[in-house]
A and B are shown apart, each in its own frame.
Chain A
């Protein structure tokens, strides 16, 4: 177990260093977040909506932009390992696919969570919607959804990275499967923004948990097959 954890720690550090060296995911997430927010802000301002309407559309826009920016940003996440045959080397050295997959989830969750916080702030500025009162809870929802998102995208990025369509294939294959995460995140954000807290007995945290568990179980079992071929 200690050996497993040590290897896992090394893999997380490797993922971090790879991202730190290339800064591709970070740059893409930030650029997409800004671009989509500017588009949404400009579009909404031209629609001349009242405060009540903005309160209702803020959660929806936040989640649409978050889903689009994450699914379009992770397409190059495995690129360096594929080009340098890193996966092959790691598998030959005895590292399991599950460990590689989990280390990718950790790094992706960190970056997606940061991107969510950044987006929540950007959109609150663009739509002039004050969310400071529920910002802590909003971040918790973001981290929960980010982990589910990371669990699926870590697996499907490995599937999409070798395709001819590359960049555009990942959103096409991941968004339909991510529907429960999208609905869960959006509904929890609506509860927070409109009521100031999650509703008593809200089913959405359980939906997010179920989705994350399903994706992690699938990823642990299938990731190695996706990269080994």
Chain B
């Protein structure tokens, strides 16, 4: 199944992202308040949703690894963690670009969503560091524990930052306030989200296959050593 499905999904993702680019740069009009910079929104929000999806996969794969001890689930959690880290970086960078244009500053500590994503990025970073520098025989269990803890604490992190007294709620509430009035805004947004989610799934899949290959190589080497001995 893989040899045909893989190029097909890659092609679909590319086509969807291409259409999204076309809408973003050639069709949607400039937003009235924020102007041309609002186009960052389509990358920013789509990457944020894909990042949440990756984090959810880390959580589910970690729980299922600890309950089943199936190595495939651990490899999936590593793959989703790494892809989530990249997507989180994209969210932060695009958010800062957008923020600089909207608020004239690169980062605001009063802004709950921006700070939540910074903490989320740190959690992904710590997850990746632990995976790379942990004790090799224990990283699977330890990484899963951190994956569960990190994912479970994200809502609390968001809530606590939102509770800060000086919290100014500066984040542009584009969707909540009905900012996408033109039909082309919604079309561009929808296609970007689907394209980015597909890209996330594709990257996780590739990383998962690399992880599986690494695992098979390790097993073969071990079997070879046992046989030679």
Which residue in chain A gives the minimum CB-CB distance to B153? A177
Is B45 close to A, CB under 8 A?
A: no
Check B157–A162 contact: CB distance below 8 A.
no
Check A218–B126 contact: CB distance below 8 A.
no
Bound complex: CA A179 to CA B163 (Å): 13
Chain A, 134-164, contact with B by CB distance < 8 Å: what is the 0/1 string? 0000000000000000001001100110111
Shortest CB distance A145–B (Å): 13
Interface size on B, residues (CB 8 A): 31
Check A222–B135 contact: CB distance below 8 A.
no
Check B119–A176 contact: CB distance below 8 A.
yes
Is A38 close to B, CB under 8 A?
A: no
- Which residues of chain A from 185 to 229 have any CB-CB distance to chain B below 8 Å in the complex? 187, 203-204, 207, 210-211, 214-215, 218, 222, 225-226, 229
Which residue in chain B gives the minimum CB-CB distance to A173? B126
Bound complex: CA A50 to CA B129 (Å): 41
Check B156–A211 contact: CB distance below 8 A.
yes
Say yes or no: A229-B137 contact (C-beta < 8 A), given A163-B130, A169-B130, A172-B129. Answer: yes
Check A207–B163 contact: CB distance below 8 A.
yes
Shortest CB distance B158–A (Å): 9
Bound complex: CA A175 to CA B150 (Å): 11
Q: In the complex, what residues of A have CB within 8 A of residue B127's CB?
A: 173
Check A183–B135 contact: CB distance below 8 A.
no
Q: In the complex, what residues of A have CB within 8 A of residue B123's CB?
A: 176-177
Check B160–A163 contact: CB distance below 8 A.
no
Bound complex: CA A140 to CA B98 (Å): 42
Is A59 close to B, CB under 8 A?
A: no
Check B145–A226 contact: CB distance below 8 A.
yes
Chain A, 163-185, contact with B by CB distance < 8 Å: what is the 0/1 string? 11100010011011101100110
Q: In the complex, what residues of A have CB within 8 A of residue B156's CB?
A: 180, 207, 210-211, 214
| Chain A residues touching B, majority SS | helix
Q: Which of B119, B133, B148, B157 contacts A218 (CB 8 A)?
A: B148
Is B164 close to A, CB under 8 A?
A: yes
Which of B135, B148, B160, B165 has the largest number of chain A CB atoms within 10 A?
B160
Is B122 close to A, CB under 8 A?
A: yes
Which of A173, A180, A210, A222 has the largest number of chain B CB atoms within 10 A?
A173
Is B209 close to A, CB under 8 A?
A: no
Is B152 close to A, CB under 8 A?
A: yes
Shortest CB distance B55–A (Å): 13
Check A179–B119 contact: CB distance below 8 A.
yes
Q: Which of A169, A187, A211 contacts B133 (CB 8 A)?
A: A169
Check B129–A173 contact: CB distance below 8 A.
yes
Check B130–A218 contact: CB distance below 8 A.
no
Check B152–A165 contact: CB distance below 8 A.
no
Check B138–A162 contact: CB distance below 8 A.
yes
Shortest CB distance B113–A (Å): 14
Is B53 close to A, CB under 8 A?
A: no
Shortest CB distance B35–A (Å): 34
Bound complex: CA A214 to CA B145 (Å): 13
Interchain residue pairs A-B with the least CB separation, the first 8 = A176-B122, A162-B135, A180-B160, A173-B126, A159-B142, A176-B123, A165-B133, A229-B138
What are 9 A-B pairs with beta-carbon distances under 8 A? A159-B130, A173-B127, A176-B122, A177-B150, A179-B157, A180-B159, A215-B149, A222-B148, A222-B149
| Known contacts A156-B149, A187-B165, A226-B142; 5 further A-B pairs (Cβ under 8 A) | A172-B126, A176-B123, A180-B160, A214-B156, A225-B145
